[in-house]
Structure 1
Amino acid sequence: MVLPEVQPRTGARVVLRRLWRGAGFIVLGGLFMVAAAVALLGLIPPSYTSSIQVLVDPTDLRVVENDVNARAPQADSGVSIAESQVRVIQSDNVLRRVVLKLHLEQDEEFVKPEAANPTLAWIKGALGMLPPPASRDPVNIALDTLQQNLTVRRAERTFVIDVAVKSRDPEKAARIANAIGEAYFSEEANARTESAKRASDALAGRLNNLKRDVEQAEGQVVRYREDHKLISSDGRLLTDQQLGDLNQQLVTASIKTAEAKSRLEQARRMKAGDASTALPEMLQSLEMQALRQQYATLSRNTAELATRLGERHPAMAEQYAQQRDLQRLIQREKERIIETTQKDYDRAAASEGAIRSNLDRVKTETTTSDRAYVGLRELERTLEARKGVYEAFLRRAREANEQERLNTTNVRVISVATPARQRSFPPSPKIVLPVALVLGMILGGAIALMLGADSDRRRDRRAAAGLGSSYRAADA
């Protein structure tokens, strides 16, 4: 005889039936977890977190042209600078300033009092849990506790540093976070002041020797000028200035002579032209314009009369006589213009000749001065080199001295810390209780499923045993 195979009970209806039968376990599991969460929330002391945001610009403020601590980072070094400032904020120098300013070494939250029970103290000492006497300084203990409650990180792809402080008191957390920002600025300012002071002291040691070298070089230049009679004005030799001025005057005089000659040639060609011929603008005069206008009007009237009366009319003779008179006046005006133009040309040519004569004389003097000026230029180059070095050192020393009182760090707080309105740990009951309820119900559901599965297995075994008995009775 073969018994029928029992199918496993894993269908959705079976699971729902098992959960329904174990609904009590689900409710009890949820309530238990909620009660446990409420108890834990009541036992765990709350902590609050306040933070500030510090913007670290890799390029410092250009208060002076040559900063001792000037940073001109490359494109890929800005992140390294920001990460370095994260380490500076976490350093002992910065945090020790905060501990001393806020007296955290007297705060029980940061420096826990030692156990009064001698037995407990002996057990801790035997287990190595007590620090050595040299490490029990309250300031150092408060510093270690502050480092544990401090979180400093840089937001990705930014130069903004988040400084978060955790404390049981929200106002204390905000006060410590703001104090860390102030201590960081003070530490950076002191570091830059110290760097500027070292640079200023190093530069000041060289200024006296450089000044003495410059004075010696200046005395050599003055004596050489006096010995060779090299007179200069505005940094140039007088002969060089005269030579430059005469060259410029010669160019101007040559242009004027050429222009005067051109006008003279045009005036001579104008003399043979007709009275009605247009004149160049450079040869125009008010009197010539008036005569030519009269001649044009008279010629127009004569032409009109000739058309109406004829060429042989007695009135035409008078018109022709007036035209001849105007032509003579125009011709005399042309001769006057030619004479004036000739005089202008003569004066321009004479002026050009005088300038050329002076230029030749100055060239001769310049040749003599240039021979002596070779040695002078060598002395002046030496003087300029020494003076340049001295002025650079002097300017740098003054800038370094001034930078001791300047803070060129381009760092600023973009968000100050304020007391937190909600605790950061443990999480809010609005989050913990629903999560605890869901976890408890899941745990209760798992228990209900396991118990239901065990009950179904026992029921199946009993049913299989009863069915086997029935088959044996039927066979008998």
Structure 2
Amino acid sequence: MAEPAAPSLSLSAAARRLWRGSGFIVLGGLFMVATTVAILGMLTPSYVSSIQILIDPSDLRSVDNDVTVRSPQSDAGVSLAESQTKVIQSDSVLRRVVTKLGLDHDDEFMKPDSTNPVVEFLKNALGMMPPPASRDPVNMALDTLRQNVLVRRPERTFVIDVQAKSKDPQKAATIANAIGEAYFAEEANARTEAAKRVSDSLTSRLTTLREALEEAEGKVATYRATNKLATSTGRPFSDQQLGDLNQQLVTASIRTAEARSRLDQAKKMTSSDAGTALPEMLQSLEMQALRQQYATLSRNTAELATRLGSRHPAMTEMEAQQRDLQRLIQVEKTRIIESTRKDYDRAAASEAAIHKNIDQVKTDLSKTDRASVGLRELERAADSRRSVYEAFLKRSREAGEQERLNNTNVRIISTATPARIRAWPPSPRIALPIALMIGLMLGAAIALMLGADSDRKRARKARRPTQDARSLRAVDA
């Protein structure tokens, strides 16, 4: 007859089994606690120190330049921060730390190879033994340091956490701070190198541009000299000369008109009486003296005629003196009129000469205008080359100054200090309760398994007498 299935486990049965196996539960908990204490005592503690670096996507605007300026788009800041995390973990940065702190001579970072022949044989057989070329102390320390450094960026921030792990808390803090300094030094060096490359490239290009500019300016100068297109203060001589001649023509015309007016007036006064008022142009020192003498003589003659009468012999002498003064005055008038005529002739000749020069300059100017077409084309070519050369020269000087200027907006917002609590192994306040819970759970599992086995044996023993009695009744029948 088939054996009946075991009844399902009830809460009361489970509680009974746990109670019967409480010793196993207690022993399991104590065993796990003791094992954890032993393991914690055997493990070498390690400490973690960290720094925080803020990566601002926008650089400091100390100067305006396009050499290494970094003004990312709205969605590029996160990519920039992620890129900087890779820079911090790069060999260039970590190698600076190894060299500065001498980690290639530190036993913690220079793990010696095993001298056990069996271990060496197994490593050689499995291909785990590094070749001699890769066993450089700096590279080995660099590999160990990379394993003991964690760089991460919390989500939605531009802050980078750099954690360094070591057996010595002071050493962990020193390494973390050294990584920050090495990162800044590497960034500054990268900026300087970038600016230097740009400066060198621009400088080499400037030589070619300067030669092209000198060639273009030489063509302009040669064309000017060939076509007599000399300039003064930026204007061609012909234009400037025409303007000067026009001004001179106006002045000469005015002077000629004035001389003509004086000559006409002088001619009208030629036959006038000696005592008639004369215009200013006919007034001279000699004329004034003669007219003064004539006026005095006329007054004396009139007085003498009143006393002596007009038939007196003295009146004849006085009248002879008056006629002589009139002749002298007329001679002086003639001289002044002749001088005025000469002034007019000179003014008219000067005006005519200026007219002639203007006509000549106009003829030359028409030739100059035709020649200026080619000159302007050469000047445009020279101006375009000059603008390019000046732009390259400005950028070259900016790049040269940028080599000594670092405008990266990156700073450490939290420096590393020696850790007070070890990072590994976990603290006993955390490890022991967990070990106790695991031990109790293992003891409970053992108690349940042993209790289930005991219940099955007890059930078989209880079913065996019933089966024997049924067998006897079957035999009797």
Q: Which moved more, 1:154-163 or 1:112-121?
A: 112-121
Paired residues for 1:361-400 under 5 Å? 377-400=376-399
Paired residues for 1:136-175 under 5 Å? 136-175=135-174
Paired residues for 1:181-196 under 5 Å? 181-196=180-195
Question: Relative to 1, partners in 2 of residues 1:379 and 1:112: Cα closer, same or farther, differing over 3 Å?
Answer: same
Shift of 1:34: 0.5
The letter for the 2-side match of 1:25 is: F
Counterpart Cα distance in 2 of 1:73 and 1:56: 12
Residue in structure 1 matched with residue 419 of structure 2 by the alignment: 420
Does structure 2 retain, via aligned residues, the 8 Å contact 1:221–1:379? no
Counterpart Cα distance in 2 of 1:127 and 1:3: 57
Residue in structure 2 matched with residue 70 of structure 1 by the alignment: 69
The Cα offsets for residues 214-238 of structure 1, whole Å up to 9 and x where unpaired, read as 456557379859955766689xx99
Counterpart Cα distance in 1 of 2:70 and 2:464: 90
Paired residues for 1:276-355 under 5 Å? none
Counterpart Cα distance in 2 of 1:3 and 1:218: 118
Shift of 1:178: 1.2
Corresponding position: 1:93 with 2:131: no
* Identical aligned residues as a percent: 60
Counterpart Cα distance in 1 of 2:370 and 2:134: 82
Instruction: Name the SS for the 1:408 alignment partner.
Output: coil
Residue in structure 2 matched with residue 401 of structure 1 by the alignment: 400
Corresponding position: 1:26 with 2:25: yes
The letter for the 2-side match of 1:459 is: R
Instruction: Name the SS for the 1:409 alignment partner.
Output: coil
Question: Relative to 1, partners in 2 of residues 1:208 and 1:122: Cα closer, same or farther, differing over 3 Å?
Answer: closer
Shift of 1:99: 0.7
Instruction: Name the SS for the 2:163 alignment partner.
Output: strand
Q: Which moved more, 1:398-407 or 1:110-119?
A: 110-119
The Cα offsets for residues 146-168 of structure 1, whole Å up to 9 and x where unpaired, read as 11112222323333322211111
Q: Which runs of 5 or more structure 1 residues have no equivalent in the other structure?
A: 243-364
Does structure 1 retain, via aligned residues, the 8 Å contact 2:223–2:375? no
Question: Relative to 1, partners in 2 of residues 1:394 and 1:22: Cα closer, same or farther, differing over 3 Å?
Answer: same
The Cα offsets for residues 438-457 of structure 1, whole Å up to 9 and x where unpaired, read as 01000000111111111111
Counterpart Cα distance in 1 of 2:199 and 2:2: 105
Counterpart Cα distance in 1 of 2:181 and 2:451: 65
Shift of 1:32: 0.5
Counterpart Cα distance in 1 of 2:123 and 2:209: 68
Residue in structure 1 matched with residue 13 of structure 2 by the alignment: 14
Question: Relative to 1, partners in 2 of residues 1:146 and 1:7: Cα closer, same or farther, differing over 3 Å?
Answer: closer
The Cα offsets for residues 332-380 of structure 1, whole Å up to 9 and x where unpaired, read as xxxxxxxxxxxxxxxxxxxxxxxxxxxxxxxxx9x98988876665454
Does structure 2 retain, via aligned residues, the 8 Å contact 1:231–1:238? no
Residue in structure 1 matched with residue 256 of structure 2 by the alignment: none
Residue in structure 2 matched with residue 80 of structure 1 by the alignment: 79
Residue in structure 1 matched with residue 326 of structure 2 by the alignment: none
Residue in structure 1 matched with residue 47 of structure 2 by the alignment: 48
Does structure 2 retain, via aligned residues, the 8 Å contact 1:154–1:160? yes
Counterpart Cα distance in 1 of 2:443 and 2:153: 44
Counterpart Cα distance in 2 of 1:404 and 1:178: 26
Residue in structure 1 matched with residue 462 of structure 2 by the alignment: 463
Counterpart Cα distance in 2 of 1:76 and 1:27: 59
Shift of 1:48: 0.9
Residue in structure 1 matched with residue 355 of structure 2 by the alignment: none
Question: Relative to 1, partners in 2 of residues 1:126 and 1:373: Cα closer, same or farther, differing over 3 Å?
Answer: closer
Q: Could you state the TM-score of these two structures normalised by the residue count of structure 2?
A: 0.64
Counterpart Cα distance in 2 of 1:159 and 1:405: 26
Shift of 1:22: 1.1
Instruction: Name the SS for the 2:160 alignment partner.
Output: strand
Query: What's the Cα RMSD here?
Result: 3.7
Residue in structure 1 matched with residue 446 of structure 2 by the alignment: 447
Shift of 1:6: 7.8
Residue in structure 2 matched with residue 432 of structure 1 by the alignment: 431
Does structure 2 retain, via aligned residues, the 8 Å contact 1:34–1:433? yes
The Cα offsets for residues 114-163 of structure 1, whole Å up to 9 and x where unpaired, read as 44566765665566544333332221211111111122223233333222
Q: Could you state the TM-score of these two structures normalised by the residue count of structure 1?
A: 0.64
Corresponding position: 1:110 with 2:109: yes
Question: Relative to 1, partners in 2 of residues 1:205 and 1:444: Cα closer, same or farther, differing over 3 Å?
Answer: same
Residue in structure 2 matched with residue 204 of structure 1 by the alignment: 203
Residue in structure 2 matched with residue 298 of structure 1 by the alignment: none
Instruction: Name the SS for the 1:463 alignment partner.
Output: helix
Instruction: Name the SS for the 1:198 alignment partner.
Output: helix
Residue in structure 2 matched with residue 329 of structure 1 by the alignment: none
The Cα offsets for residues 89-125 of structure 1, whole Å up to 9 and x where unpaired, read as 2222221111111001111111123445667656655
Counterpart Cα distance in 2 of 1:178 and 1:101: 12
The letter for the 2-side match of 1:197 is: K
Does structure 2 retain, via aligned residues, the 8 Å contact 1:232–1:238? no
Shift of 1:75: 4.2
Instruction: Name the SS for the 2:50 alignment partner.
Output: strand
Instruction: Name the SS for the 2:171 alignment partner.
Output: helix
Counterpart Cα distance in 1 of 2:6 and 2:401: 93
Q: Which moved more, 1:66-75 or 1:389-398?
A: 66-75
The letter for the 2-side match of 1:44 is: L
How many residue pairs get aligned? The number is 349
The letter for the 2-side match of 1:154 is: R
Does structure 2 retain, via aligned residues, the 8 Å contact 1:56–1:161? yes
The Cα offsets for residues 280-317 of structure 1, whole Å up to 9 and x where unpaired, read as xxxxxxxxxxxxxxxxxxxxxxxxxxxxxxxxxxxxxx
**Rg comparison, structure with higher value:** 2
Corresponding position: 1:57 with 2:56: yes
Instruction: Name the SS for the 1:82 alignment partner.
Output: helix
The letter for the 1-side match of 2:12 is: R
Does structure 2 retain, via aligned residues, the 8 Å contact 1:151–1:165? yes
The Cα offsets for residues 230-267 of structure 1, whole Å up to 9 and x where unpaired, read as 66689xx999xx9xxxxxxxxxxxxxxxxxxxxxxxxx
Instruction: Name the SS for the 2:53 alignment partner.
Output: strand
Paired residues for 1:207-246 under 5 Å? 207-214=206-213, 220=220, 224=224, 227=228
Counterpart Cα distance in 2 of 1:402 and 1:232: 36
Residue in structure 1 matched with residue 291 of structure 2 by the alignment: none
Counterpart Cα distance in 2 of 1:155 and 1:474: 82
Question: Relative to 1, partners in 2 of residues 1:27 and 1:384: Cα closer, same or farther, differing over 3 Å?
Answer: same
Does structure 2 retain, via aligned residues, the 8 Å contact 1:3–1:468? no
Does structure 2 retain, via aligned residues, the 8 Å contact 1:64–1:399? no
Counterpart Cα distance in 2 of 1:463 and 1:217: 121
Residue in structure 2 matched with residue 132 of structure 1 by the alignment: 131
Counterpart Cα distance in 2 of 1:123 and 1:198: 50
Does structure 2 retain, via aligned residues, the 8 Å contact 1:151–1:164? yes
